[in-house]
Amino acid sequence: MAPPLVSVPMKKNKKPSLVLTLSVAGLLIGAGSAAYWLLSQRQRSSSDLLVGANIIPGDALFAVSLTTDPQQWQKLREFGTKETQAELDKNLVELRDRFLTNNGYDFQKDIAPWVGNDVTIAILAPAIASKAAPKPVTTNEDTASDQQSMVMVLPVKNPEIAKNILAQPKTLKQRKWIDRIYQGIAIKQSEGQAGENFSAALLDGRFLVITDSPKATERAIDAYKNQTSLATTGGFAENFPKIADYQPFGQFYINVPTAAKIAAASPNRPLPAQVLAQLQNNQGLAGTMTLEAEGIRFKGVSWLNPNSQRVLAVENKAGKMQSRVPAETLMMLSGGNLQRLWGDYILTSQRNPLSPIAPEQIRGGIKSLTDLDLDKDLLSWMKGEFSLSLIPTTPKQGSPDDFRVGLLFMVQTSNRQSAEASIKQLDEVMRNQYQFQVQPAKVAGQPVVNWVSPYGTLTATHGWLDGDVAFLVVGAPVTDKILPKPNNTLASTLPFQQTVPTEPNPTNGQFFLDVERTVKNFPLPTLIPNQQTLLAATRSIGMTSAVSDSRSNIYDIFLALKKVRNTTPLPSPESNKSSSVTPPTTSP
């Protein structure tokens, strides 16, 4: 069954809210995965840009391009579980019926004969968000949604059929079609109630442009003729080709500052404040989604405003920590330079109301708890690669309740002498201020220091690896799993090798999460809607990132997913009309 978004929408009952539009696009992208993963697809040309990028107005809030290949859509439906597939199918049917069936169109008969390999949908920013007004964005969600406009760009591979469809559109109920000319371009426009007017125009016989308002059509024509389109927006043409891929399922572009501004103003904020805070620090975010045999791959790029005074340090020195932790590690997050990461956080968090914690609060909290200066006593020697890992203990036979984990922090120091002086100060604080026993010990012949609570429980252990890597274990005692260096490391395991991308290389950071084992044993904080359902469909998650140049970062993310066998076809529009059954599901 072909994708429901490939259509000529000639009727619209109600303009969807921005939040709903974002949520639907996000659901499609991840086989029912995280909202905010918006899809899109590039044009098959030497420019490697989004299809229709030369038509979409440059101030577009976001644009998503999707393949029209039915085989790829069927492959997408095979990922996940019966629950995630049912949710995906429900949305596909709703969108198909809204854009096609309800307007008398059938994809195979009316659209497939002339449409190209990809179609693009763009949402234009509400006027209130695109103006540089001193007043804050309104918190009235309805006001923002009323002002948003949608633009669809459908590449035309058979101009004659497309012209016929445009010349003889389906008959409308309680509305009529009118013809007009704008800048020499013929426009066919429906006339009816406000918010239900659609217009369509054929540009150069190559692109059919459909919008939900006459003004949006004029804006698209202006962008095309005056070269004020997305293709000419600062940083877009330079960065989008970095994520080009062969026959991807989709691609997307987000105008980050505008999107974060609108999302922050929404009373039903779809993204956590931490995410919004970091999004606002970039000018653009783009990605490519590709379907692979065992899951879904995302290649992403984010870039700063070309006129920004801020620059990124091109420093990619991570990639060794996964060889220092054992094979059973549940999660590992690594980075290239902790001191620099803190400096970036300061730059992006100061005077940012969405920041989760102000830098001054973090500094003050550490000073209050340890009497140490975060910048001078700690971060001054933390200029190397660092990592945070969750390592499980081995539960006793027949005692699953004994399953515990240790939190392991490691950092490569640039000055061991300074590091040892700070760690010694920390030992004194734990002994004198918190009445912990600070006990020297040995693990596998290597010296370590244990912190034992007043109740006699081992609370933490710190020491050194490879001479210049300081480590701290908190929680379950897992020091014996890293000393001596394990023979079977996380880097040597198949789940890590098959999930964590090998590119970009060199890297500035990596992430690995064994979803199945982690979710099975530990409750995770809820960050997105339907999180448990989505996690149940995922085996593992891997990411590799790098600083591409002084103004952009690149990412490669892979989701290893479960699969649903014996998927059933989507119900036909006829059966959907004649039945009021629950949303379509897959066979067992």
> Does residue 131 form part of some domain?
yes
pLDDT of residue 381: 96
Do 335 and 447 lie in one domain? The reply is yes
Is residue 136 predicted with pLDDT exceeding 70?
A: no
Whether 537 and 278 have beta carbons less than 8 Å apart is answered as: no
Q: 343 by DSSP, 3-state: which?
A: helix
Residues 34 and 110 in one domain: yes
- Quick check: helix, strand or coil at residue 241? helix
In a domain, 187, yes or no: no
456 or 137: which carries more pLDDT confidence? 456
Flag the least confident range among 32-41, 117-126, 337-346, 445-454.
32-41
Angle between the N-to-C axes of helices 416-432 and 359-370, in degrees from 0 to 180, rounded to the nearest 10: 60
Are 471 and 531 in a shared domain? yes
332 shares its domain with 294: no
310 within domain boundaries: no
Query: Would you say residue 69 lies in a domain?
Result: yes
Compare 385 and 141 and report the one with higher pLDDT: 385
pLDDT-derived band at 49, boundaries 50, 70, 90: confident
Q: Helices marked H in 2-131 — which ranges?
A: 18-29, 70-77, 82-99, 127-130
Q: What is the percent of the chain where pLDDT is above 90?
A: 52
Helix (H, G, I), strand (E, B) or coil at 572: coil
| pLDDT average, residue stretch 335-353 | 83
Q: Cβ distance 573 to 97 under 8 Å? A: yes
Task: Write the DSSP string, 327-338.
Answer: TT--EEEEES-H
Give the C-alpha separation, 355 to 277, whole Å: 5
573 lies in the same domain as 458: no
CA pair distance 203, 187, nearest whole angstrom: 10
Q: What tokens appear for 136 in the block?
A: 């804050």
Contact, 290 vs 296, CB < 8 A? yes
Both structure tokens of 89:
């199918």
Q: What gap in Å lies between CA 296 and CA 96, rounded to an integer?
A: 23
Looking at the fold, whether 264 and 128 belong to one and the same domain comes out as yes
- Work out the pLDDT band at 529, boundaries 50, 70, 90: confident
Three-state secondary-structure class, residue 356:
coil
Amino acid letter, residue 260: A
Given this model, what pLDDT does residue 127 score? Answer: 56
Three-class secondary structure of residue 16 per DSSP: coil
- What is the average pLDDT across 332-352? 86
Which of the four pLDDT bands, split at 50, 70 and 90, describes residue 135?
very low
| pLDDT of amino acid 578 | 43
Q: What would the pLDDT profile of 414-458 be if each residue is shown by its tens digit?
A: 899 999 999 999 999 999 999 999 999 999 999 999 999 998 888
**Of the candidate ranges 127-131, 273-277, 346-350, 464-468, the one whose mean pLDDT is the lowest:** 127-131
Give the pLDDT confidence of 282-328 residue by residue, as tens digits. 789 999 999 999 999 999 999 998 877 888 999 999 999 999 999 99
Higher pLDDT, 142 or 286: 286
Q: Is the pLDDT of residue 585 over 50?
A: no
pLDDT category of residue 30 using cuts at 50, 70 and 90: very low
Tokens of 448: 């370590």
Q: Give residue 143's pLDDT.
A: 36
Query: In DSSP terms, which residues pair with 441 in a beta bridge?
Result: 448
**Domain of 235, in residue numbers:** 18-172+231-302+565-578
Task: Output the DSSP codes for 462-505.
Answer: EEEETTTEEEEEEES--GGGTSS--SSBGGGSHHHHHHS---SS
Asked whether residue 252 is assigned to any structural domain, the reply reads yes
The number of distinct structural domains making up the chain is 2
Query: What's the distance, CA 340 to chain centroid?
Result: 23
Q: Are 32 and 162 members of one domain?
A: yes
The model's confidence at residue 174, banded by pLDDT at 50, 70 and 90, is low
